[in-house]
Amino acid sequence: MVNQNQENTPIYLDPSQPLEKRVEDLISHMTLDEKISQLLNDAIAIERLNIPKYNWWNECLHGVGFAGIATVFPQAIGLAATFDLHLMEEVAKAISDEARAKHHEAIRKGERKIFQGLTYWSPNINIFRDPRWGRGQETYGEDPFLTSRMGVTFVKGLQGDDPKYLKLVATPKHYVAYSGLESERHHFDAIVSKKDLWETYLPAFKACVIEGKAEAIMGAYNRVNGEPCCGSKFLLEEILRKKWGFEGHVVSDCGAIRDIFKFHEVVETPEEAAAMAINAGCDLFCSVGIFTKKKKKIRWNWIRGAIEKGLLSEEPLTKSVKRLFRARFKLGMFEPPEMVKHAQIPPEVIDCEEHRNLALKAARNSIVLLKNENNLLPLKKDLESIAVIGPNANNLDVLLGNYAGTPSKYTTILKGIENKIGSTARIYYSQGCPLKEKSKETFKEALELAKKAEIIILVLGLSPRLEGEEGEAIESDLNGDRVDISLPEIQDELLREIHGIGKPIILVLTGGSAIAVNFAKEKIPAILFAWYPGEEGGTAVADVIFGDYNPAGRLPITFYKSVEQLPDVRNYSMEGRTYRFFHGEPLYPFGFGLSYTTFRYHDLQITPEKVKTTEAIMVSVEVENVGERDGEEVVQVYISNLSTPNAYPIKELQGFQRIFLKKGESKRVNFKLLPPQFSRVNEDGQRLVEPGKFSLTVGGGQKEYSEPGMNCLEGTFEVIGEINYLN
């Protein structure tokens, strides 16, 4: 770094100069080849300009990923199940602390490799529209409103609140309409109506850009209505930059530029693909791992060749380079470290006790109690013996999910139970069966142990070996995805045989998506869904089972009874998908979750009862804990249109708050609903607020599926005045 006191210090190295002036000055010193070299995720050093090499690729979906020891929080779908924005903010801040500390520790060692930077390709805010998609675990579920709130909170937590310097760069992905099949992602064309695009697929991205101020966006592999996402002027220029005012940079998913010519075949040559992407507004090419040892030279030649053939001018290329260096300047990469407060975060925060405790808190908050017949749970701790059985009981994979870091220590579900009561009760353990293979070799052992025990805890479900990204889930049905949504057949057989013994069973399910456990819902008295709960997942599950924590997680997705209830996975129409458009009877509905206590709702107030199309509505309700335990409740607000219901989703979540109430305590909960929250999108893609009558329900879940302890109140309001067009 040049001495800042020298009179000949260039403008770009002078922290007192305005950001845009510094960026302009730096780019003005670069040659064409130097500019091209910076459009790759593994950007080379330009020593004469004091530009160090930099690799843009980092991941932090639920903790710093692929970069050694780091705190592993619950998988993203589990974080969504908390319905807790304050917790999400805490988690994002902890992750960004560890990311900053890792980066500066690497710099001190002279290392600038992949997964050591400050630009993070998270969160995944795609809509989880079909449970067969293996990457749904990375998302915040099926609902645009929940996804938007979680996404915005995560983005802000990563990027920090410093007025001058970003803590990290957050990169919401994959823009847009990307949600399966993994085996077809490199060539699939998502045919999406204007209504579905603006009503379902775009809102979370819009929120993360406009509210969250996300500095980057990642383009998807697929096409949308014929256009490759990473080469679409409609998506990148018309919507992202012009309509939403996005000023940051766009990065391609890894290999997506190759896909434009090789698999989508919308152009014939790599030079045409490179030109299409850059001209559309894609600034950074991620291509690691898909070329030969000469990959860097090949990718340079694509861009160079595009210029030489007249397909690309230097002007849009320069714009891209400016956007990229704008991000690096905003991260403080060209400042003395003492000027950037984030650079002072010490390495001791990595995997610290505070973060491990936060991981435990998040895991507890994510667990969903699906069934508790005759109040079997919580269990008393004075049991004499317990049988813990199942392929997921003592397994690290099912704690971590995909895109995870490496925990320094972890607690499996078996270990969590042993830690809780192992000193007083006899714990019998058997794997019971493989995850998926049709082998009954250990059935006999499991049945014998189950017969000995006073109570049985079965730990079944999914694993990152069964669902995940293309090529990662090595035992999946279809290259990462599932063909069927039931329990794997061998696990279902084990469940039925152990049920036949006649002992009380608690079923703990792991996974990142819905599982059709119809037999269990009918026959098993207690069911918990634990997701992929992170490094302390076993402790959290034991805390819930034995009553040291009262569960309050809610489903961020619909649990269907079978794949017969689902449309073709290749069909991107929202008709018949998710709770917003599904007309059937779910196994468990979106927003569902039970508690060990009971809440009652009183005195719903909606003001005004008649509201203009430009005005907000205030919603207020009294919530009381009338049960015998302290506990948390997730208060949910749903809106349905009564005047023209066919033009709107069946119902939509438009507010939620997670609150804690001691037994006997009550609290008034308030919501403010803005006009976009009672708007609709027409067939032309226009969002509008129009006159009409609406139903509004407030409660612990959807009114139609209320159970004891989940009562809901319903009211109405009327929208009056002229149609208000919002976009």
- Catalytic residue IDs: 253, 467
Name the nearest CA neighbour of 133 among 186, 199, 61, 182: 182
Provide the 8-state DSSP code for 627. S
Size (the chain), residues: 727
Looking only at the bridges linking them, the beta strands covering 426-430 and 385-389 are parallel
Determine the Cα–Cα distance for residues 47 and 65; give it in Å rounded to an integer.
30
Query: What's the per-residue H, E or C state across 163-210?
Result: CCCCCCEECCECECCCCCCHHHCCCCEECCCHHHHHHHHCHHHHHHHH
Query: What's the per-residue H, E or C state across 387-399?
Result: EEECCCCCCCHHH
Determine the Cα–Cα distance for residues 519 and 385; give it in Å rounded to an integer.
26
Structure tokens at 581: 């458009």
- Indicate the burial class of 364 (C-beta count within 10 angstroms; 0-12, 13-18, 19 or more): buried
Determine the Cα–Cα distance for residues 380 and 420; give it in Å rounded to an integer.
11
Task: Say which amino acid occupies 343.
Answer: A
Structure tokens at 724: 């208000």
- Indicate the burial class of 508 (C-beta count within 10 angstroms; 0-12, 13-18, 19 or more): buried
Three-class DSSP category at 42: strand
Q: Are 102 and 70 in contact (CB under 8 A)?
A: yes
Residue 5 neighbours by CB under 8 Å, 6+ apart: none
Determine the Cα–Cα distance for residues 399 and 461; give it in Å rounded to an integer.
12
To which residue do tokens 């304050």 refer?
86
Q: Are 532 and 356 in contact (CB under 8 A)?
A: no
What backbone torsions phi and psi does residue 713 show, to the nearest 5 degrees? -110, 150
Determine the Cα–Cα distance for residues 657 and 77; give it in Å rounded to an integer.
18
Find the DSSP H helices in 380-524.
Answer: 397-400, 413-421, 443-452, 489-499, 518-523
Continuous segment of H or E residues that includes residue 24? helix 19-28
Three-class DSSP category at 118: coil
CA 224 to chain centre: 21
Give the strands of the sheet with 223-224, arranged side by side: 189-190, 223-224, 227-228
Structure tokens at 285: 């090419």
Q: Are 306 and 271 in contact (CB under 8 A)?
A: yes
Residue 18 neighbours by CB under 8 Å, 6+ apart: none
Structure tokens at 236: 């990148």
Structure tokens at 603: 């005195």
Determine the Cα–Cα distance for residues 281 and 265; give it in Å rounded to an integer.
20
How many other C-beta atoms are found inside a 10 Å radius of the C-beta of residue 504? 16
Name the nearest CA neighbour of 656 among 552, 584, 515, 571: 552
Name the nearest CA neighbour of 74 among 409, 532, 507: 532
